[in-house]
Amino acid sequence: MAIDVTPARVRATADLARLDLRDDEVGPFAGQLQKILDHIAALEALDVSAVAPTSHVLDLACPLREDAPAPGVLRDEAMAQAPRSEQGAFVVPQFVDE
């Protein structure tokens, strides 16, 4: 069952994602989101009961490097590249209200 995408639903979704949409962006986004949800609905309607769960998985090797400790950046080098630092720490703008 497809979901009807309304401008109100687009704005609510944008609010949840913390996106600021202009009024002229809501319509195009509604159309794009509707196409995506319609496509998902079409996929959900397919009968895949005869498809084995592993029949589509490729057997690929994924070699991993050894997880071994290595030297990192020295504090003085990192602090020298920072725009602002105090007492051996990075200074960043406050972003949490107290």
Which tokens sit at 37?
């949800």
Residues 81-85: what's their mean pLDDT?
93
**In a domain? residue 33:** yes
pTM above 0.85, yes or no: no
**In a domain? residue 59:** no
Range(s) of the domain holding residue 28: 7-44
Residue pLDDT, tens place only, 43-69: 999 998 887 776 556 666 777 888 899
**In a domain? residue 84:** no
Residues 7-26: what's their mean pLDDT?
94
Spatial distance between the Cα atoms of 29 and 41, rounded to a whole number of angstroms: 18
**In a domain? residue 39:** yes
Which tokens sit at 90?
């990075």
Spatial distance between the Cα atoms of 93 and 83, rounded to a whole number of angstroms: 12
pLDDT at position 62, please? 74
Residues 71-92: what's their mean pLDDT?
92
**In a domain? residue 96:** no
- Total domain count for the chain? 1
Whether 20 contacts 14, CB under 8 Å: yes
Residue 85 banded pLDDT, cuts 50, 70, 90? very high
